[in-house]
Amino acid sequence: MLDSKLIRDTPELIKQALIKRGHDVATFEALLAIDRDWRDHQIELDELRHQRNTQTPKGKPSIEQQESLKALSARIKVLQDKTSQLDQLRLDASLMIPNIPHHTVPSGLTESENVVIKTVGVPPTFDFEPLPHETIALNRKLIDFEAGARIAGSRFAVYTGMGAQLERALIHFMLAHHTKRGYDEVMPPVLVNRACLMGTGQLPKFEDDLFKVNDTDFYLSPTAEVQLTNLYANQIIPESSLPICHVAHTPCFRKEAGSYGKDMAGIIRQHQFNKVELVKIVTPDQATDELHAMLSDAESVLDALGLPYRVIQLCGGDLGFSSAITYDIEVWFPSQGKYREISSVSHFSDFQSRRSMIRYRPNLGGDVEYAHTLNGSGLAVGRTFAAILENFQQSDGAVIIPAVLSAFFYSHPHGELRL
């Protein structure tokens, strides 16, 4: 949620920021109109309340005074109701306005205009035609897609045998890796309530992409960003406790609305998938350094696994709804001959903290301030699984598993592991 003072004082600046995102400014202009109407009603309401207070006699009022006060109270009640309605409309409209991009975000409206920051590692070369991960998974009996479809439907998968061990090994490795780098592990609920999703910006705009539990206030979480950020909702944190750094593994659930026909094969775009998530609560002064540290933390997982990747900065038009700055990490997929997203690392400024009321008390005293929030995938586990199958496939159909994972396989804790 944007600062209401910023909205009123610099509307043109916000309009230009929204244009940079490719966002329709009509919704913002509607918000401005509602806000002006609300303020006009609020001013009149305050004036009438003051008038009532000053006109109320100390002794017994006359009949004329009683009639005048009755009429005044009736008018105040009408204004109270109208002001309350306008305030709700103002809130509803403000929740549909995305965050404004940071001044360092490159211009552009589509992903083709994202900027490559760096490329790490060399894509492997093969003396055979590399297979897509879904074919390898079927050939090696690592995933049963038909069973997933029978149990739940399309875009679900059952990991079997060594495939299940690889998925679990990746989760355990990522959690161990990030806790060693200073993150505190959390194991949160998978169900989240509406207030939490409002706080991080998934609601109300992206309701169609969420799985809701009928007749309840619960949703299946689309990302552990929701749970980890909302650990601090409606709290005031001492500045001395910041930055706060958390890591969590959860299954994540998304309808993938509007994506049908895209990535139907394999495990790139599933309704249920595992992800290890990183979240930080920081002061504004800490945000830039902590953002780049989080990006380095996510990259270091791919470095340890030996997977080739690149880092890109998203242009204004490709930013997520709540983000002010986003860096994507894309891993190489040989069968597709291109890089695919495996992590997004974002700085949300005070956008989420205003919605969730996450504040901190400065060490030097003074008024409490809104914290800044950061999050990033560390990493998307299924996509890491797929990238390993594709990049480390062998001519005999086997896959060599990165050495750092061997200790996390119960059946093969030492030596080279081939699936």
User: How many whole angstroms separate alpha carbon 159 and alpha carbon 144?
Assistant: 6
Closest listed residue to residue 37, CA positions, set 109, 105, 93: 93
Number of alpha carbons in the 13 Å side-chain half-sphere of residue 213 = 11
- Beta partners for residue 343, in sequence order: 329
344 has catalytic annotation: yes
Sign of CA pseudo-dihedral 66, 68, 74, 76: negative
Edge-first strand order for the sheet with 358-361 is: 235-238, 358-361, 369-370
52 has catalytic annotation: no
Q: Tell me the angle at which helices 11-21 and 26-55 cross, rounded to the nearest 10 degrees.
A: 150
Q: Which residue has the tokens 């355990």?
A: 172
Q: CA angle at residue 415 from 414 to 419, to 5 degrees?
A: 100
- Of the candidates 181, 341, 369, 418, the residue annotated as catalytic is 341
Burial class of 112 by CB neighbour count within 10 A (0 to 12, 13 to 18, 19+)? exposed
Closest listed residue to residue 253, CA positions, set 229, 281, 226, 278: 226
341 has catalytic annotation: yes
- Of the candidates 39, 269, 361, 418, the residue annotated as catalytic is 269
241 has catalytic annotation: no
Q: Which two tokens stand for residue 218?
A: 């619960």
383 has catalytic annotation: yes
In the chain the first and final C-alpha atoms are separated, in Å, by: 48
- Of the candidates 254, 354, 355, 359, the residue annotated as catalytic is 254
- DSSP-H helix ranges across 209-254: 225-230
- Of the candidates 221, 344, 356, 377, the residue annotated as catalytic is 344
Which three-class secondary structure state does DSSP give residue 8? helix
Q: How many CB atoms lie within 10 A of CB 81?
A: 10
Over the Cα atoms of the chain, what is R_g? 26
DSSP state of 106: P
Which three-class secondary structure state does DSSP give residue 189? coil
Q: What share of the chain is helix, strand, coil (3-state, %, to 5)?
A: 45, 20, 35
Which positions are catalytic? 254, 269, 341, 344, 383
